[in-house]
Amino acid sequence: MAAIILNDVTKVYGKEKTVAVDHVSFAVEQGELFGLIGPDGAGKTSIFRMLTTLLLPDNGSATVDGYDIVKDYVRIRSRVGYMPGKFSLYQDLTIEENLNFFATVFGTTIEQNYDLIKDIYVQIEKFKDRRAGKLSGGMKQKLALCCALIHKPSVLFLDEPTTGVDPVSRKEFWEMLKRLKAQNITIVVSTPYMDEAMMCDRIALMQTGRILSIETPQRIMQSYPLPLYAVRADNMYGLLKAMPTFSKTISSYAFGEYAHVSFREDVDVNEVTGFLRQHGFSDIDIKRTNPTIEDCFIQLLKA
Amino acid sequence: MENIVIKTDKLTKRYGDFIATNEISFEVYKGEIFGFLGANGAGKTTAMRMLCGLSTPSSGHAIIAGFDVYRETEKIKKNIGYMSQKFSLYEDLTVLENINFFGGIYGLSNANIKDKSEKLIDQLGLQKEAKKLVGALPLGWKQKLSFSVAVLHEPRIVFLDEPTGGVDPVTRRQFWDLIYDAAARGVTIFVTTHYMDEAEYCNRISIMVDGRIEALDTPRNLKHRFHSESMDDVFFQLARGAKRGD
């Protein structure tokens, strides 16, 4: 049985009827590490809040661990762990008091499920008497994860746990998630960072309440429909302006030190080089490249 | 040299016995896009607050847009623009009202504000939204508007603190187009980001670790020096050694 099933779920807000989640359906398998990938406003948080029974859908239905999110909300609440995007632990309680509080609320103790949080908790344990409000961002994040795990949930929801976090700490966080996954916890995680999609078993690419694609990251990348090239020259700003005027260009945009250019068909590298020379560029480097999730996302947005 | 718009010499900020920013020395040139990178807790925000005249250094020197960070903070504030990672416009004012308000704060004449707001709204394609509340705009538009307002008074330097966090990949690139345009007009861009592909778009970048600037160069030279294919890897090599927890 799938751990999570959404069936045609819609969420509309306010007088202006803003559609935050627009007829979304998908399923997450038991033990899967599933990513909701999309920018601010994609509808990720609304989906989390409906699945954790904090918000009612306007249309459609959903189950978590087999329980209905509307009828069986009490059961769901004791089975899921939720780490909201905004830090929401008690700032005036210490690390240890926060953790104890959440354990007690769920009728358990820190000792009982210590194995599950040990890896993460040891990194903040020496500050256990410090108030949560006085912790640095990285430590708050680790404490919030411990509190979301202390009752040994079967499904863990993490809403943008790495937003605003530097690349090194982001890598460490994903390593923690891989270890949790190994303990057979189903994890749904959202992120605006496209590179993190690679760490998930499957992902849903989202934009303005809709799912653009839902697949394994590998399959999404394989399904990129056009030949993609990385192009570099002495004047990158000029290159980005010139590339769209080449007859076979479908799209081009900056991608790190290169421009990523999609052509209508396979091109002869010499032909492109000739075009760029003609336009006064030098130091030209062009090569076929594999699309990343970010390329796929951009392509899907334009489609 | 008149082309140097930021010059710091051993700039330091201490909080008790904690040294948040530790003797940083660097120069940034007119029209340059300068990336200011570092792990969380490395001391970037503290450094940036000193450069903007919002926090008095404990020791060291810095000249920003020709003004001293100890004695001329008000002049610094008039000559810089600032945009933070948290959205910094008024959500319950309209797009036009925000432009008017910030133009007024920076002492622009009404005629000048009117002229500038028309151009700005054209450039951003916000004609239909001009009279809507800013709170109703998608994040990407807010950030583009926020940037345009930060450079409305034609500052010599604009400080951008993680301007593109959470913004979609297409809008993120449009945002960088605005940055390039401003730099081409001679505005110096001082920007922090956690997106390493954006580090590549900077002319030069510095990487802070534990309060110090551990590396400063063009992205290409840094990759060469650290034998790396990507800035991500350069950052990882430097920041992995950080002692300071975030």
In tens, the pLDDT along B175-193 reads 999 999 999 999 999 999 9
Give how far A65 is from chain B: nearest CA, Å.
30
pLDDT band at B246 (very low <50, low <70, confident <90, very high): low
Domains of chain A: 4-222 (3.40.50.300), 228-302 (3.30.70)
In this complex, the residue of A38, A165, A256 whose CB is nearest that of residue B197 is A256
- Which chain B residue has its CA at the smallest distance from A136's CA? B246
- Considering only alpha carbons, which residue of chain A is nearest residue B208? A166
Top residue of B197, B198, B223 to mutate, by most chain A CBs within 10 Å, is: B197
B79–chain A nearest CA distance, Å: 27
* More confidently predicted of B212 and A137: B212
What's the rounded mean pLDDT across residues B55-77?
97
Contacts of A170 in chain B (CB under 8 A): 194
Residue among A165, A168, A254 minimizing CB distance to B201:
A254
Look at residue B99 and tell me if it is in a domain.
yes
Contact B173 A40 (CB under 8 A): no
pLDDT higher than 70, residue A294: yes
In a domain, B224, yes or no: yes
Distance from CA of A159 to the nearest CA of B (A): 12
Residues of chain B with C-beta less than 8 angstroms from the C-beta of A136 = 40-41, 245-246
Asked whether the beta carbons of residue B169 and residue A166 sit closer than 8 angstroms, the reply is no
Query: Per the domain annotation, does B22 fall within a domain?
Result: no
**Is residue A85 within 8 Å of residue A40, measured between CB atoms?**
no
Which chain B residues touch A139 with a CB distance below 8 Å?
A: 245-246
| B64 inside domain | no
Nearest CA to CA, how far is B100 from chain A (Å)? 26
| Element spanning B97, H or E | helix B95-105
Whether B201 contacts chain A with CB within 8 A: yes
Residue ranges of B 103-132 with Cβ closer than 8 A to chain A: none
Q: Is the pLDDT of residue A199 over 90?
A: yes
> Can you give the residue range of the structural domain that contains B139?
31-55+74-239
The residue of chain B nearest to residue A141, with distances taken between CA atoms, is B246
Percent pLDDT > 70 in chain B is: 98
A69 vs A136 pLDDT, higher one: A69
In a domain, B26, yes or no: no
Nearest by CB to B162, from A139, A164, A171: name it. A164
Structural domain includes residue B15: no
A95-154 pLDDT per residue, tens: 999 999 999 999 999 999 999 999 899 999 999 999 999 988 788 889 999 999 999 999
What own/partner pairs with CB < 8 Å and gap ≥ 24 does A94-99 have?
A94/A128, A94/A129, A94/A130, A94/A131, A94/A132, A95/A124, A95/A125, A95/A127, A95/A128, A95/A129, A95/A130, A95/A132, A95/A135, A95/A143, A96/A128, A96/A129, A98/A132, A98/A143, A98/A147, A99/A143, A99/A146, A99/A147, A99/A150
Instruction: Among A18, A36, A40, A234, pick the best mutation site for testing chain B contact (most B Cβ within 10 A).
Output: A40
* Separation of alpha carbons B18 and A49, rounded Å: 40
pLDDT, one tens digit per residue, over A250-282 is: 999 999 989 999 999 999 999 999 999 999 999
Q: What predicted TM-score, i.e. pTM, was given to this entire model?
A: 0.88
The span from the CA of B163 to the CA of B144, in Å, is 9
User: Which member of B165, B169, B184 has the closest CB to residue A164?
Assistant: B165
Residue A174: its chain B contacts at CB < 8 A?
none
How many angstroms separate the CA of residue A228 from the nearest CA in chain B? 17
Q: Is B38 among the domain residues? A: yes
Asked if B240 lies within 8 A of A168 by C-beta distance, the reply is yes
**Residue B35 contacts A where some CB pair is shorter than 8 Å:** no
Domain assignment of residue B154, yes or no: yes
The full 3-state SS of chain A, as one line of letters, equals CCCEEEEEEEEEECCCCEEEEEEEEEEECCCCEEEEECCCCCCHHHHHHHHCCCCCCCEEEEEECCEECCCCHHHHHHHEEEECCCCCCCCCCEHHHHHHHHHHHCCCCCCCCHHHHHHHHCCCHHHCCCEHHHCCHHHHHHHHHHHHHCCCCCEEEECCCCCCCCHHHHHHHHHHHHHHHCCCCEEEEEECCHHHHHHCCEEEEEECCEEEEEECHHHHHHCCCCCEEEEECCCHHHHHHHHHHCCCEEEEEEECCEEEEEECCCCCHHHHHHHHHHCCCCCCEEEECCCCHHHHHHHHHHC
Closest in A41, A164, A257 to B219, CB measured: A257
Task: State how many domains chain B has.
Answer: 1
pLDDT tier for residue B76 given thresholds of 50, 70 and 90: very high
- Whether complex ipTM tops 0.90: no
Cα dihedral sign, B124-B127-B133-B136: negative
Q: What is the pLDDT of residues A208-238, one digit of tens each?
A: 999 999 999 999 999 999 999 999 999 888 9
Q: How confident is the model at residue B39 (pLDDT cuts 50, 70, 90)?
A: confident
CATH number of the domain encompassing residue B160: 3.40.50.300
